[in-house]
Amino acid sequence: MASKTPHADSMTEPCESCGRETPHTVTVELRTESAAEENAEFSREPYRVTTCRECGGRRAQRMNDA
């Protein structure tokens, strides 16, 4: 079973802006995809958002992508 973290957590990940591994705050956001207005029920996709603690850069990755 995959481990879930229900709250913001921090982990070290590579940051493109910093050019090295930095501590990141990791959160999950539900984002509405404008391309799927007719399927509002299914248009909210979970994104894993990482915020670099060094430069504040944010990156969002859709979690549903295979």
| Interaction site with Zn ion (CB under 5 A) | 15, 17-18, 22, 52, 54-55, 57
Residue 23 or 46: the one with the smaller Cβ distance to Zn ion is: 23
Residue 13 or 33: the one with the smaller Cβ distance to Zn ion is: 13
44 membership: H or E segment, kind and range: strand 44-52
Provide the minimum distance between the beta carbon of 27 and Zn ion in the complex, in angstroms, as a whole number: 16
Residue 17 or 39: the one with the smaller Cβ distance to Zn ion is: 17
Give exposure, 22-51, as e/b (b: 16+ Cβ within 10 Å).
bebeebeeeeeeeeeeeeeeeeebebebbb
